[in-house]
Chain A
Amino acid sequence: MNGTKQQNDIVLSIKDLTVHYEVDGEVVEAVNNLSLDLREGKVLGLVGETGAGKTTTALSILNLIPFPPGKIKSGEILLNGKNILAMNIAELERVRGKDVAMIFQDPMTSLNPVLTVVDQVMESILIHETSSKVEARERAIQMLETVGIAAERADEYPHQFSGGMKQRVVIAIALACNSRLLLADEPTTALDVTIQAQVLDLMLKLKEQFNTSMIFITHDLGVVAQVCDEVAVMYAGRIVERGTLEDVFNHTKHPYTEGLFNSLPSIEDRTARLRPIPGLMPDPTQLPLGCTFAPRCSYATEACINTRQTEIGFSESHFALCSRYAEKNFVIDRKEID
C-alpha cells in the first residue's frame, strides 16, 4: 500500500485529544492526549474498564460532550478531513446522523417511548435525505427489515419490543443514512449471549454490505476478538496499547493489557487461579505523576512512577505506552502466540 492511498482511506483521525470535566473546582482528566486513526471499512475496538474514558472519546467525535462540566481542552478530530471540533451548530447537525452515527449501550433508554419505531428511524432520513414523508417511511421500513424487524411491526412502540429487538431498532436508526462511520458504545452489553450473537452477526453483515467503519467500545475482550480488526486499550484516559487484533492479543506488550487477559477465567485450564490486577484505577482528579498504571504494575520502576511514559513502537502498527521497553531485554510474562 503506498502512502497516498493510506492517507485517502482514513475516515477518522483524532489528534492529541484532551477532554476534562470540571466539577466543584476539581478537574477530572477523562481523556488525555489521545490520538488514533481509523481506515475505511475497519472496526477499531476501544477497550477498557469503567472510567477509562471510552465513552467520552466517542461523545467527543460527535462533539456531544456536555458543557459544562465537560470541556475539550485541546486536539483535533478530523472526520473525512474536516475538523468536527471547529464546526458550528448548523454544520454539526449536517454531520451527526449522516456522516457519523452512534449506537448507545442501553436500548431500553435510548429510544423515545412515545414514538413508534418507524417514526424514530424516519427522523434522520427526513433531516438528511428527503423531505417526502412517504419516501422516508418506505426507506425506514426497508431499514427495519434489513435489521430483521418485520414491516408489520414498524408502527409499534419500543415497549412492545424485547431488548434484542430494541437494539436492532437502534442499529436501524444509526444505519438509516448510510453513515461512513459508526460509533457503537457497548451495543451488546445489555443483551443475553444468544441475542448478543445475533446482533453482532447482524452488525458484521451490515458493515460488509455498506463498507462502514466502526469504533466498537466494549470491555469484553471476547467480543473484540470476534468483531474488531484493530484494538486500542484505554487506561485512565490514555491509550496504553494499540495495534491490529493480532498485535494486541497475540503479541501483548503493555502490562495493563496483560492484566486484563490474566483476569479472565481460562477456558482450557478452568481451575487455574485468576491473576487479577491488584488495586484500583487511579482517581481521575489526581492522576499519578508518572505512568498512570505504575501504582498497580508489577514491572514498575522508580522511573515509571516519576516520569511520564512515551509511546514505543514495535512495528508499523503496534504501539504501547510503556517506558520499560526502552530497556533492551524487557519482556512481560504473557507468552506470545504465533
Chain B
Amino acid sequence: MEQPILDVRNLRKYFKTPRGLLHAVDDISFTIDHGKTLGIVGESGCGKSTTGRCILRLIEPTTGEIWFDGENVAQMKTRQLRAKRLDMQIIFQDPFSSLNPRNTVMQTIAEGVRVQKIHSTETEIQKRVLELMDIVGLAERLYNSYPHELDGGRRQRIGIARALAVNPKLIVCDEPVSALDVSIQAQILNLLKDLQEEMGLTYVFITHNLGVVNHISDEVLVMYLGQNVEQAHTEEIFRNPKHPYTQSLFSAIPVAKVGANKERIIIKGEVSSPINPPAGCRFAPRCQHRMPICTQQDPVSTEVTSGHFVACHLYS
C-alpha cells in the first residue's frame, strides 16, 4: 500500500497560561493519503486551527511526530524546515487580514516565486505570476491592484495563488471560505477542487461549516476540546455518526429545506475549559448518554467498523 503523504502521531500542543496548562491539542493522530482531503471539523476553540498550524510548525508542537513525505517535520532544524515548507503551504481564513495591505497582487504572489529560486529574471517571475493569476482566475488587469481594492473572493484567490506559487504538495486550508458569501464561497470551493484534480494536491481542510466539509472531504475528523472524538470516511460519518457529540453537531446543522429541521438533538451547556481538563471524556459534562465511567477514565479511540474510529465509552 502507498505510504500516506502525511502521518501525524500523538500531536500535543499545550500553552502555558497564568491559570494553568491549556490543552489546545491533546493527542491527535491521523494520516492522509496523497491527493486526498481530510476535513477537520469542530467548534471554536476545539484546536483545529492549532493542529493545522502545528503541521507546518507555524506553532511549535509540544510533543508528537509529523511525518510528511517520509520525514519527521517535528524534528527538523530551521534550514531543513524552510526547504520542506515549499512542499506545504497554508491558506488563511480571513482574506482581509492575511494579505499585506502595502503589497500589490503581483508583489504578494511573486514573493513565493522568488523564494523558490527557479525563476531568476524579473521577466520570468512576472510570467510565472501571470500564470498563477490565470490558474486561480484573477484577471490580468488586477496585476497592480492592492488588496483593499478587491472583494473578499478575489482576495482569497490571491491567498490561493500565493500558496500555489511554490508548487506545494500539501495545503492546509484554514476556514478558507468562512468569510465569504455563499455565491462566492461556491466559486472558491470549485476552484480548490479543480486545483486538486489538476495538480494532485493534498488538503487538510479546517472548517466549522459541515455542508462544506461534506462536499470537499474524503475523510472527516471531528475534534472536541483538543481531542479526536470520531474519524471516518465522509459518507460513513454523515450517514452513521456514532459519537454523541458528532450526532448532536450534525443534527444542529440547519438544512435549507422546508420541513428538514424537525428532529434536533440540542446539547445543553457549553464547552468546558481547556485549562487543566479533568480526567475522563471531555464531552461528558454535556453528554446525554453519560455513564459513571465517562468521568473517571479517558475513552480510547476504537475502530467500530472498518475505517471508522470513535473515542467513546459507549463503543468500547
Partner-B contacts on A (CB < 8 A) = 49-50, 162-165, 192-198, 200-201, 219-226, 245-246, 249-250, 259-267, 270-271, 273-277, 280, 337
Contact = CB atoms under 8 A, between A and B. Distances in A.
List the 5 shortest-distance A-B pairs measured between CB atoms, nearest first: A222-B254, A265-B215, A276-B186, A221-B256, A263-B186
Contacts of A265: 186, 189, 211-212, 214-216
B44 interface: yes
B186 A267 contact: no
16 contacts: A49-B183, A192-B43, A193-B249, A194-B249, A197-B266, A222-B255, A226-B254, A260-B183, A263-B182, A263-B186, A264-B256, A267-B211, A267-B255, A270-B214, A273-B190, A276-B190
B258 A246 contact: yes
Contacts of B44: 163, 192
Contacts of A266: 215
Contacts of A193: 43, 208, 210, 249, 252-253
Contact of B182 (A49, A195, A267, A280): A49
Contacts of A224: 256
A194 B255 contact: no
A337 B258 CA distance: 10
B1 interface: no
A265 B257 CA distance: 13
B214 A267 contact: yes
Given A193-B249, A222-B256, A260 B267 contact: no
A246 B257 CA distance: 9
Interface of B: 43-44, 151, 153, 181-187, 189-190, 193, 208, 210-212, 214-216, 234-235, 238, 248-249, 251-261, 264, 266-268, 270
A226 B259 CA distance: 8
Contacts of B193: 273
Which interface residue of B253, B266, B270 has the most chain A CB atoms within 10 A? B270
A263 B183 contact: yes
A274 B186 contact: yes
Contacts of B185: 263, 276
Nearest to A165: B270
